[in-house]
Structure 1
Amino acid sequence: MYQALYRRFRPKTFDEVLGQEHITTTLKNQILRDNIGHAYLFSGTRGTGKTSAAKIFARAVNCTNSKDGNPCNSCDICSGIIDESIMDVIEMDAASYNSVDDVRELREKVQYPPSRAKYKVYIIDEVHMLSKGAFNALLKTLEEPPKHLIFILATTEVEKLPQTILSRCQRFDFKRIGTQDIIKNLNNICNEIGLEAEEGALKLIARNSDGAMRDALSLLDQCISFREGILTYEDALDILGIANNDLMFNLIDSIKDKKLEEALNVVDDIIQNGKDINQFIKDLIYHFRNLMISKTSTDPWDIIDLEIEIVERYTKQAKELSLNFILKAIQVLNEGENQAKWSSQPRIILEMIVVRLISLTGEDSLEERIDKLEKMIQSGNITVSEKKADEKINTKNKIEKKQNTSKQVEEKTHEEDTEEIEEVVDIVDDGKDISFNEIKKEWPNVLKLVKSKRVSTQALLKEGKPLFYDNKMLTIGYGDGFGFHKQAIEKDHNREFVEKIISSHFNKNIKVKFVMANSMENEDGKEEKKNNEIKEMAKEVIDFFGEDLVRIIDD
């Protein structure tokens, strides 16, 4: 029966684990010094060796003939653990056994000593899938397990684990495996299985594995099944659904030159050839990433892990694009990738991305525009046509003329306002009391008088209405939406003009206060309004019955 490559070539010792020397060295030293903990937490992205390291550690702590901390894989204990005839190493999937009852059952089983090995080892994979109750049930056992027991917890989402669990484990973070390590391991495996593969094909597989050795071996498995003989770069492109470099460079050239028709035809060819659209967007992001590195790095060959000829093409294309455009393009592509994942029409998203990228071309950043301007000034290449110069002069003259005219009008208006105030007759206080009702009855006549003297002020005043009058102070209120009118009429020249008009009309020195009507709806305003109404009613009663027959009693 055929066995998948990632299972067939699973590492059997710590030395075979790729790219995790910071972890394997620590674990080997603990075994050599007999300094073994009771709980370990292995965290990291998929395919980085967490479960493999847990299985190696489970054999190494029980091996009767360990070598430099590595299991021998040949003694009875190691052989029994590998072929699963010894039941002292138990693997559990927390996604399937995540309830409180499952953990309680586990707690009962861990009390029993190992049957043949020195330690009983529980490997709990995807431990973040345990429920909150299950974590609480596991907590006490994890904190004080029997001497013969070791827990190894593995997870890809360590942030979901409670702090109470994290604090009771020795934590080891597995990092992504480097591209060079993956390529080296793929070469070794190809040699062992007798497969001839081009270096470009293995590099393509390594780049698309995203630092996961298991993903790289799964992709290699697909490529082996595709065609007998040599595994070529083109074969890998076809299998993985990736667009080739020529296609990518041509598409970016079309975008740079604003050739929308050509760019959309490239997109159509990609789709007609069955390429995966989401994968193509990822390839575009990777292409622009390489352009960014080529644009900003003095030595991009050390960062871009590709052939020298391809890196030179990136460098050449990057010179023709602004850094501002490259950065904005990456941002647009990232947004498009997120939209395409959930869209039922990813082709439209891709075409929309191409259109947006074309619209971005030619937009320089502020720094780049300043640099260009400085270079033009230094070289003396700034020329302005006579026609444009005349237009600018005429525009400037018009603006200055308009400003002077506005200033003259403003000054004239101010002079007229002053004259109008002076034209109001002098106020002679006749000594008679005036009621608020009289002011309300006469208010239309007051507005007419203001209009005859100054229309602009009357336009502001008519939007307000008298609220109450007390102690020679008339309060005028403005409703919601007329705050501008209130602010304008409060200016000294307007307020003084209104006070003179009102005082002259009623032969009384009257001051004016402007408020927003809604602000007077508080208790004080209501009380003052009520008092004014009482005074008006009392005056009417006295006028009707006579002052000698009426007596006003204050509360």
Structure 2
Amino acid sequence: MGYQALYRVWRPQQFIDVVGQEHVTKTLQNALLQQKVSHAYLFSGPRGTGKTSAAKILAKAVNCEKSPTNEPCNECASCRGITDGSIQDVIEIDAASNNGVEEIRDIRDKVKYAPNSGTYKVYIIDEVHMLSQGAFNALLKTLEEPPQHVIFILATTEPHKIPLTIISRTQRFDFKRIQPQDIIGRMSQIISESGITVDEQALHIIARAAEGGMRDALSLLDQAISFSSDEVSVEDALTVTGSVSHVFLGKLARAIYDKNVADALEVLDELLAMGKDPARFIEDMIFFFRDMLLYQAAPGMANSFERVLIDPQFKELAEVISNRDIYGIIESFNKTQQEMRWTNHPRIFLEVALVKLCNQERESAVSDVQVRQLTSKIEELEKQLKELKERGIGQAVTAQAEKQPQTPRTVKKSYKAPVGKITQVLRQATKQDLTLVKSRWGEVLEQLGQQNLKSLAALLNEAEPVAASSQAFVLKFKYDIHCQMAMENTRFIEAMASIMENVTSHRLEMSGVPESQWQSIREGFLSTQQLDGQQETETKEEDPFIAEARKLVGDELLEIKE
């Protein structure tokens, strides 16, 4: 016979050769050793994952002269006959072309005959979901109670199309997509035994393009070997698979981040001139940014990356681009991918998407690390200032600065607390409302951290509620800069109001005040209350009950109603 494709030459002949399906092979091996082989199996899963191969290996194992055994010997007459197809006890049926009632009735009539040479007659029905409804009905009874010498193995890529009455009569095994690392290991074994020279990176490209199918991977490898001259290089693998080089993806990602429209369109034009498929290209870009997002969240998950290699250029880009920008880029490319399916000019949609991404404003977001660094720097500076004052150097520096001529400079306006709003809260404040807010403060901080506001939640580490009413509360900050950053962020204020409504059942508006201003505002409010009390005493004698209440709780929390 002439040349045979790699996937035919290296088709698994034992369970140990079936890659990436240990959950299936181990179960079948245990059943063989314990002589608990079922009368019917259903193998389902994506294409090229080993369903038919596993079925043939099982057929050889049950008929092997050395059985019970967990692996066929591939040396006895039975194993060799099943491998080369000379033994008629293993019958393979393609349900795509034999899907009528008559074919199934023929099987039903022949199952009662004993096997010719082996122990079992094994019927392997491939693509069983293609059978007609009448054929399924004809198969039901035979599948449920076949003769003792018959085993049915059904294989399918679409198990949802099989009636539940059929599935319930079988033992179902779901074959999963094979991981790229497992595919690379199998291909490395094949090329080492075949004497073929292949670049290691080319194997990674082929494995990722196979999308979990070993047969697809071997077909692509076979094609790359035919395309190359002496050694299968990375460029050969990229050409055969239609994938885009990691270098080009990195260039395009950098151009998008730098807002360089000319570079982005130049890279796109170069790729399309090389014959790359626009649909495959945009899919590669989506996976590239997906891998970047995974790298930012969990750098140790390198085995899950689809399109990237962790090189210095990729690390540099992953450190400067924010996850918010990555979300927007993936969403834009995904929308473009959907639109490209219904057009005859996909290049136009690609160019429009790149121009749009390069022109949109980059979202500015303060990261948690930046906030922690800023807070740490402030604390360090305050500590140094305190030490200078204790040593008396601060006064000397101040005196020297006063002697020197001062040049006018722009000073940033410090934060000023809303005195009127805080005074209004103090007028309506009660001890019960303040106790409620303080008791729920831990839950407030926890929920704030869960709403992707961890950077702003850090500002509340040294803040505390100092007054509260049924409608609002006053929050005291230790540092002016923390209070200013919090109160100038409308999203943060709205989130706090919503969280307070969740934990206290009241929508409490927040008023922030720095510790340096809180004491003066409080004293001013108390003095005003005392003046009001004195004026009221001059015009009206105070009720004895009110006087007793004033002694118990004080003027700050006392509220008199007619």
TM-score of the two chains, using structure 2 as the length reference? 0.63
Task: Letter of the 2:232 partner, please give it.
Answer: L
Deviation at 1:198, TM superposition (A): 1.1
Equivalent in the alignment of 1:536 = none
Equivalent in the alignment of 2:521 = none
Equivalent in the alignment of 1:290 = 291
**Conservation of the 8 A alpha-carbon contact between 2:288 and 2:307:** no
Equivalent in the alignment of 2:348 = 348
**Conservation of the 8 A alpha-carbon contact between 2:89 and 2:115:** yes
Deviation at 1:338, TM superposition (A): 3.7
Name the CA distance, whole Å, in 2 between partners of 1:32 and 1:226: 45
For 1:98-113, list aligned pairs within 5 A.
98-113=99-114
Deviation at 1:352, TM superposition (A): 3.0
Name the CA distance, whole Å, in 1 between partners of 2:115 and 2:57: 18
Deviation at 1:370, TM superposition (A): 10
Q: Which range moved further: 92-101 or 56-65?
A: 92-101
Name the CA distance, whole Å, in 2 between partners of 1:186 and 1:321: 36
Change (3 A) 1:288 1:49: same
Deviation at 1:43, TM superposition (A): 0.9
Q: 1:54-83: CA deviations, max 9, x gaps?
A: 010011111112484111112111111122
Name the CA distance, whole Å, in 1 between partners of 2:320 and 2:128: 50
Equivalent in the alignment of 2:358 = 358
Deviation at 1:298, TM superposition (A): 4.5
Change (3 A) 1:349 1:108: farther
For 1:68-83, list aligned pairs within 5 A.
68-83=69-84
Change (3 A) 1:169 1:67: closer
Equivalent in the alignment of 2:182 = 181
SS in structure 2 opposite 1:152?
strand
Deviation at 1:299, TM superposition (A): 3.2
Task: Letter of the 1:54 partner, please give it.
Answer: A
**Conservation of the 8 A alpha-carbon contact between 1:205 and 1:219:** yes
**Conservation of the 8 A alpha-carbon contact between 1:325 and 1:364:** no
Q: 1:484-521: CA deviations, max 9, x gaps?
A: xxxxxxxxxxxxxxxxxxxxxxxxxxxxxxxxxxxxxx
Task: Letter of the 1:166 partner, please give it.
Answer: I
Task: Letter of the 1:158 partner, please give it.
Answer: P
Equivalent in the alignment of 1:336 = 336
**Conservation of the 8 A alpha-carbon contact between 1:45 and 1:176:** yes
Name the CA distance, whole Å, in 1 between partners of 2:106 and 2:359: 63
Equivalent in the alignment of 1:238 = 239
Name the CA distance, whole Å, in 2 between partners of 1:307 and 1:252: 12
SS in structure 2 opposite 1:27?
helix
Change (3 A) 1:67 1:111: closer
SS in structure 2 opposite 1:282?
helix
Deviation at 1:133, TM superposition (A): 2.2
Change (3 A) 1:273 1:81: same
SS in structure 1 opposite 2:270?
helix
Q: Which range moved further: 325-334 or 263-272?
A: 325-334
Task: Letter of the 1:353 partner, please give it.
Answer: A
Task: Letter of the 2:144 partner, please give it.
Answer: E
TM-score of the two chains, using structure 1 as the length reference? 0.64
Name the CA distance, whole Å, in 2 between partners of 1:105 and 1:337: 48
Name the CA distance, whole Å, in 2 between partners of 1:356 and 1:105: 63
**Conservation of the 8 A alpha-carbon contact between 1:195 and 1:230:** yes
SS in structure 2 opposite 1:65?
coil
Name the CA distance, whole Å, in 2 between partners of 1:54 and 1:109: 20
Change (3 A) 1:24 1:360: farther
Name the CA distance, whole Å, in 1 between partners of 2:279 and 2:243: 10
Task: Letter of the 1:242 partner, please give it.
Answer: S
Name the CA distance, whole Å, in 2 between partners of 1:198 and 1:13: 28
Equivalent in the alignment of 1:412 = none
Task: Letter of the 1:118 partner, please give it.
Answer: T
Task: Letter of the 2:345 partner, please give it.
Answer: Q
Name the CA distance, whole Å, in 2 between partners of 1:172 and 1:300: 28
Deviation at 1:372, TM superposition (A): 8.0
Change (3 A) 1:306 1:256: closer
Name the CA distance, whole Å, in 1 between partners of 2:245 and 2:376: 44
Equivalent in the alignment of 1:199 = 200
Change (3 A) 1:355 1:104: farther
Corresponding pairs, count: 385
Matched, 1:133 2:134: yes
Change (3 A) 1:296 1:249: same
Name the CA distance, whole Å, in 2 between partners of 1:300 and 1:42: 30
Change (3 A) 1:300 1:55: closer
SS in structure 1 opposite 2:362?
coil
Q: Unpaired runs of 5+ in structure 1? A: 390-555
SS in structure 2 opposite 1:252?
helix
RMSD: 2.9
SS in structure 2 opposite 1:210?
coil
Change (3 A) 1:118 1:207: same
Larger radius of gyration, structure 1 or 2?
Answer: 1
**Conservation of the 8 A alpha-carbon contact between 1:62 and 1:77:** yes
SS in structure 1 opposite 2:87?
coil
**Conservation of the 8 A alpha-carbon contact between 2:35 and 2:68:** no
**Conservation of the 8 A alpha-carbon contact between 1:300 and 1:311:** no
Name the CA distance, whole Å, in 2 between partners of 1:164 and 1:311: 53
Matched, 1:224 2:249: no
Name the CA distance, whole Å, in 2 between partners of 1:375 and 1:150: 68
Deviation at 1:274, TM superposition (A): 1.0
**Conservation of the 8 A alpha-carbon contact between 2:178 and 2:214:** yes
Name the CA distance, whole Å, in 2 between partners of 1:124 and 1:272: 45
Task: Letter of the 1:354 partner, please give it.
Answer: L
Deviation at 1:50, TM superposition (A): 0.6
Task: Letter of the 1:153 partner, please give it.
Answer: L
Equivalent in the alignment of 2:397 = none
For 1:97-496, list aligned pairs within 5 A.
97-301=98-302, 303-304=304-305, 310-360=310-360, 362-364=362-364
Q: 1:300-339: CA deviations, max 9, x gaps?
A: 545448897x344322211221111212322332333344
Name the CA distance, whole Å, in 2 between partners of 1:248 and 1:36: 51
**Conservation of the 8 A alpha-carbon contact between 2:291 and 2:307:** no
Q: Which range moved further: 180-189 or 348-357?
A: 348-357
Q: 1:122-162: CA deviations, max 9, x gaps?
A: 11111111222222221111111111111101111112222
For 1:518-533, list aligned pairs within 5 A.
none
**Conservation of the 8 A alpha-carbon contact between 2:287 and 2:306:** no
Change (3 A) 1:126 1:10: same
Identity %: 48
**Conservation of the 8 A alpha-carbon contact between 1:198 and 1:230:** yes
Task: Letter of the 1:16 partner, please give it.
Answer: D
Q: Unpaired runs of 5+ in structure 2? A: 379-408, 414-562
Name the CA distance, whole Å, in 2 between partners of 1:342 and 1:126: 31
Name the CA distance, whole Å, in 2 between partners of 1:229 and 1:352: 41
